[in-house]
């Protein structure tokens, strides 16, 4: 059964959402992300996806204090990403309470370091971040589009034991115009040993049913929850 994973994106210690990763299109939804996390927990959510958008832009972890507050004051499983560019950043994330770390850019720019982390922490704690635009992997807070294709990227890391992939379709992220369901269906078929987490554009319960039927492991939902397009009560069947 698919795991519902609400997103908590942080800029300046506040809970925000962007559109297609554009920092100019920022909307603040809550002054205190902990309040958001507590509301999710109260509704039966078990896991959240926390993104340090300041960290992604600064190329080092920034909002670890907020991560620590959420992890220490809730029982939520927190996967954390954004700005993890060094071993020190990764240590800070785990020391601050992250159960898992989502690593994207480093998996592209420094494959040896990513493999070291994978070996040191294991595939249950390291999630491969695959941010995609028109089939190509994007890095550095989605500002740079590489020539690396998604299939080649996943095939390479499958050989190193990666079994969790968070794939975001950048063009759909924050737009609430629907998820790339067909993309995720194909990923599940092509990489059956990997747990695929869908992210970007999920805007209806019907899409969640489609993703669940396709054996997608998890679904990250952001703006659709904050804008009330998907209500937490509607998610109960998966909680």
CB atoms within 10 A of CB 68: 16
CA distance 92 to 164: 21
Measured CA to CA in angstroms, residue 194 lies from 84, 204, 217, 218, 220 at distances of: 22, 25, 9, 12, 17
The question of whether 9 is a catalytic residue gets the answer yes
Angle between helices 64-73 and 33-42 (to 10 degrees): 30
Q: Name the residue among 70, 45, 35 with its Cα closest to residue 231.
A: 45
CA distance 197 to 95: 24
Q: Name the residue among 75, 9, 1 with its Cα closest to residue 222.
A: 9
Which one from 9, 79, 89, 169 is the annotated catalytic residue? 9
Which one from 52, 79, 89, 131 is the annotated catalytic residue? 131
The question of whether 54 is a catalytic residue gets the answer no
The answer to whether 30 touches 14, Cβ cutoff 8 Å, is yes
The answer to whether 21 touches 173, Cβ cutoff 8 Å, is yes
Tell me phi and psi for residue 127, to 5 degrees: -105, 130
Q: Which residues pair with 52 in a beta bridge?
A: 10
DSSP-assigned letters across all residues of 73-137: HS--EEEEESS--SHHHHHHHHHTT-SEEEE-HHHHH-HHHHHHHHHHH-TTTEEEEEEEETTEE
Q: Which residues are catalytic?
A: 9, 131
């Amino acid at each position: 059964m698919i795991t519902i994973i609400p997103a908590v994106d942080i800029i300046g210690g506040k809970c925000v959402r962007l559109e297609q990763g554009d920092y100019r299109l920022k909307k603040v939804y809550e002054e205190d992300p902990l309040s958001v996390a507590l509301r999710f927990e109260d509704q039966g959510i078990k896991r959240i996806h926390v993104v340090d958008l300041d960290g992604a832009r600064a190329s080092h972890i920034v909002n670890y204090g907020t991560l620590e507050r959420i992890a220490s004051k809730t029982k939520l499983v927190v996967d954390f990403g954004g700005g993890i560019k060094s071993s020190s950043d990764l240590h800070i994330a785990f020391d601050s309470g992250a159960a898992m770390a989502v690593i994207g850019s480093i998996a592209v720019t420094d494959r040896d370091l990513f493999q070291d982390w994978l070996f040191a922490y294991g595939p249950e704690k390291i999630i491969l971040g695959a941010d995609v635009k028109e089939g190509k992997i994007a890095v550095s807070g989605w500002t740079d589009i590489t020539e690396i294709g998604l299939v080649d990227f996943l095939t390479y890391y499958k050989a190193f034991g990666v079994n969790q992939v968070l794939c975001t379709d950048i063009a759909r992220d924050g737009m609430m115009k629907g998820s790339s369901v067909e993309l995720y269906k194909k990923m599940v078929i092509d990489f059956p040993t990997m747990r695929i987490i869908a992210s970007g554009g999920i805007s209806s319960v019907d899409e969640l049913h489609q993703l669940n039927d396709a054996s997608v492991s998890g679904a990250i939902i952001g703006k659709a929850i904050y804008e009330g397009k998907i209500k937490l009560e509607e998610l109960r069947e998966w909680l």
